[in-house]
Structure 1
Amino acid sequence: MTYRTIKLVKRPETKITEDIFDIVSQDIPQPKADQVLIKMTHLSLDPAMRGWVSADEDSYIPPVVLGDTMRASGLGEVVASNNSQFPVGTRVMGLLGLTEYAISDGSNINPIPKEIPAEAILSVIALPGITSYHGLFEVLKLSSSDAGKTLAVTAAAGSVGSLVGQMAKNLGLKVVGVAGSTEKCQWLTDTLGFDATLNYKDADFAEQLASATPEGIDFFFENTGGAAQGPIFNRMNAHGRIAVCGLIAEYQKEQPDPGPSWLNIIKKRLMIQGFTMPDHFHRIGEYSQALGGMLGKGELQYRAHVIEGIESATTGINLLFDGNNQGKLIVKL
């Protein structure tokens, strides 16, 4: 029997194009000593994948080697096992790649309860959730003592931004979300309860932001760069804190846009910190448990954008960069 896996065969020039990938059929392997064979059921498509396909060696994680399976996190079930920690039938999650089957020695997978829906796992408990949690509580250092202060979040309708806003609201903060469509803004306001939502594509975005933040902005969770960054930066209050999680508006440009002047960093005494989750993977268990608790209490809502079949991943990934995904982007196998 065979299975399909997506190999990275060349680097993109700017945008991710279908031809940088090759869908290859291979014989299903059998696990060796201490290994398990996992049949994947769901794969995660994330903005970080744009960096993973580049040739940049000077980053937080090495690029995917040409000819290797494309890196991705996913969810699956152990179907053959020589590892007592992961018997047949165990549901697992890990960075296993864009593939229908994967071999693991157990070091890169975690067991996941079967009663939690797959979409909830990949939307909340997996990378989006742990990223949101770390950025809010370890980088921005939010607590209930910050109730009443203002947080702005870009890509607010995305898998990370929507969780950031909800967790901040649960602490009593005023949350201003920035998204790229009327539908996304309405979802954030009507369903998630954000205090204000703005479309960065509006010509008067800066004026709308000033109106929505009459007392300025205390915390900024940055996911995009681009048009929203400067106006938000200029609204920061003294001693404000900024967590730089992503710059999705810049990833597929030949030359990134210039950022705002550093003058306000001095004048406003701002703290700005970039972060990536591979530095903190040792805390996945801790963060996932906390997120699972929030989810179980009904404190977090999510929505998933599901596409079907492994072949859909090679083009579907661009939904992230076009802004056409409606929630966490997942491939169902």
Structure 2
Amino acid sequence: MQYKAITFVKRPIADITADTFELVTLETPVLKDGEFLVKQTHMSLDPAMRTWMQDNPNSYIPPIAIGEVMRSFGVGEVVESKNPAFPVGARVIGNTGWAEYVLGGADMQVVPHDLPVEALMCVLHVPGLTAYVGLFEVLRPKAGETLVVSGAAGSVGSLVGQMAKAEGLRVIGIAGSDEKCRWLEDELGFDRAINYRSANLAEQLAEAAPNGVDIYFENTGGPIQQVVFERMNRFGRITVCGMIADYNREVPAPGPSWVDINLKALRVEGFVIVDHYDKAPKAVEVLTGYLQKGQIKYRAHVLQGLESAIEGVNLLFNGDNQGKLLVEL
């Protein structure tokens, strides 16, 4: 049986262009003992994909090789199996790729059929684990503190802000449009949301955080970074989860001065989620609790068809996605 897949054929210098990928037709493999075949139904598009495309030997994960199927994670159904732990009909989630069919891997997990796919992809898998680790394991928030989260309308940032609100913090979100800011304030309950495209960022942040910023969840970089950094309180904490504004730049923008890190006794810590998979059971428990109490809302931006990923991935970098970006196959 043949199926469609999208391979990675050219490392982008700046923006991701259509010729970065190639649509190909492949043959489904003959299964060996212990293997299973998954028909993918939904796959995730994530900012980290841009870093996977870089030929960077110092990255946390090997770069995608030229000619490989583009990397992603997704959800699907087992359609053929020689592995009793993954029977035909089982629903699974894990590393997949831009393809209609994938060979199941050791990282895959069986998940209930009755769990809505959007809840699974938006909250209870990588976005939720990332938000949980960055907020609770790295930043360790305290009730009454002020949190700023950039990329606040994205899959991770929106969860960070809602969990922080549930824990009694003042939450300020940074997003890329007035519509996203209204959603953060009116639907998710953020105390304030600021459009980073505004001309008076510093004035708006000073008004939103008159007592300074205690913790900063950094997802994007860009012009807001320095503005937030300058308002950090002594003993503040910053976690660097992502730098979307720099992913398409040949040379990253200069960062804040280490002088204030010293004088304000700030703690700055980067993290990548592959180092924290051991925390997934606890994260799922905590996130499920928030969902059951109605303290977390989410939305997905769903594209249709495998080929939509080729152009759709850029929605992550121009800010036009409205929620967690998914492809329905």
The alignment partner of 1:299 has SS state of coil
TM-superposed CA distance for 1:260, in Å, is 1.4
Map 1:1-333 → 2, pairs under 5 A: 1-105=1-105, 107-142=106-141, 146-333=142-329
Tell me how large the CA RMSD over aligned residues is.
Answer: 1.0
What is the CA deviation profile of residues 138-160 of structure 1, one whole-angstrom value per residue up to 9, with x for unaligned ones?
00012xxx111100000100110
Gaps of 5+ in 2: none
> Deviations 1:96-115 (Å, cap 9, x if unpaired)?
1111111125x120111111
- Where structure 1 has 5 or more consecutive residues not aligned to the other structure, the ranges are none
Deviations along 1:13-47, one digit per CA (max 9) or x if unpaired, are 11111101111111222321011110000000000
Asked whether the 8 Å contact 1:30–1:37 carries over to 2, the reply is: no
Distance in 2 between residues matched to 1:91 and 1:290, nearest whole Å: 23
- Which residue identity is paired with 2:23? I
- 2:216 match: secondary structure: strand
Does 171-180 or 5-14 show the bigger shift? 5-14
Deviation of 1:116 (Å): 1.1
Asked whether the 8 Å contact 1:179–1:199 carries over to 2, the reply is yes
Give the whole-Å Cα distance in 2 for the aligned partners of 1:14 and 1:268: 35
TM-score normalised per structure 1:
0.97
Q: TM-score, normalised by structure 2?
A: 0.98
1:279 aligns to what SS in structure 2? helix
Contact 1:131 / 1:160 at 8 angstroms: preserved in 2?
yes
Per the TM alignment, residue 290 of structure 1 is displaced from its structure 2 partner at its CA by 2.6
Return the letter of the residue paired with 2:88.
Answer: V
Task: State the alpha-carbon separation in 1 of the partners of residues 104 and 326 from structure 2.
Answer: 22
% identical equivalent positions: 53
Letter in 2 for 1:179: A
Q: How many residues align?
A: 329
Shift of 1:259: 1.1
